[in-house]
Amino acid sequence: MDLNLTDKVALVTGGASGIGEAIVRGFAREGAKVMIVGRGKERAAIIINSIGKPSYVQYVEAELTRDEDCQKAVSETLRTFGKIDIVVNNAGVNDKKGIGEASPSEFMESIYKNLFHYYAIAHYALEALKATKGTIINIGSKVADRGQGGTSGYAASKGGIHALTREWAADLCKFGIRVNEVVPAETWTPLYETWIRTFPNPEEKLASITKNIPLGKRMTTSEEIANMVLFLASDKSSHTTGQIIFVDGGYTHLDRALTV
């Protein structure tokens, strides 16, 4: 299916690894131009070289907890490509700032790492998105709905992303800007693999997780998350806004009896 993304311009935060990398590669396959935003210059260079379209995929280094870097990321995208059609807010880290261990200031640091830049990037890109009647796609987490324990800052941030998705959809529909959210649960990424390998028996730990995923008893792939992002970025979803879409094999919401 042609998603009509040729020569669209997408700004993707955290695009140098994991889900973000899959999103970048997906856009590139569809002929879109992509600005990778965040840290990871060396990894970004590898991605750009492997895609083989250096004029279509670029990188801007940014510390996304800093307002001025978020503004720079948007201005550099506009300078390079001349417009912005799509913003994908993806960067974040489950930094384990729990209520019993983390101080209030550490909690706020987690909010800055995981929520602040979603607002800042969208804010600075807004005029460009108005010009293109563009779209914002936020990447969330099941933690906002299920809780996890030991990660108050991350959970609060992801809950905030749910709220901002709906708020922005309401606020921006008058400009023709669509806003949606894609929510992963158990998704196989290099970071997830590294975490699994910290256990004495990684295969056993992985099996204990996948047995609880109703559809296929397997992890979601980064490419499956990316595919939903591409659909929401395209005009194939032209009347879809304010939606929070879980791509998780039914893990978050289906009856636990299905996992037995």
CA atoms within 13 A on the CB side of 160: 17
Residue 154 a catalytic site member:
yes
**Is 34 a domain residue?**
yes
Of 59, 118, 124, 154, which residue is the catalytic one?
154
Which residue segment(s) compose the domain that 91 sits in? 9-187+221-253
Q: Report the alpha-carbon distance of residue 29 to residue 229 in Å, rounded.
A: 13
Q: Report the alpha-carbon distance of residue 192 to residue 91 in Å, rounded.
A: 15
**Is 123 a domain residue?**
yes
Q: Could you give the C-alpha distances from 170 to 39, 165, 176, 194, 207, in angstroms and in order?
A: 32, 9, 11, 39, 41
| Closest to 136 in 3D by CA, of 102, 176, 104, 185 | 176
**Is 206 a domain residue?**
no
Specify the number of domains making up the chain. 1
**Is 40 a domain residue?**
yes
Hunting for tokens 């384990």 — which residue is that? 96
Q: Could you give the C-alpha distances from 127 to 43, 130, 151, 189, 197, in angstroms and in order?
A: 30, 5, 34, 34, 44
pLDDT of 218: 95
Residue pLDDT tens, the chain, 260 long: 789 999 999 999 999 999 999 999 999 999 999 999 999 899 999 999 999 988 899 999 999 999 999 999 999 999 999 999 999 999 998 888 899 999 999 999 999 999 999 999 999 999 999 999 999 999 999 999 988 888 999 999 999 999 999 999 999 999 999 999 999 999 988 888 887 889 999 899 999 999 999 999 999 999 999 999 999 999 999 999 999 999 999 999 997 777 76
Q: Which CATH number does the domain housing residue 104 bear?
A: 3.40.50.720
Q: Report the alpha-carbon distance of residue 225 to residue 20 in Å, rounded.
A: 9
**Is 214 a domain residue?**
no
Hunting for tokens 């209520």 — which residue is that? 99
**Is 208 a domain residue?**
no
pTM for the whole structure: 0.95
**Is 192 a domain residue?**
no
pLDDT of 260: 64
Tokens of 72: 């720079």
**Is 173 a domain residue?**
yes
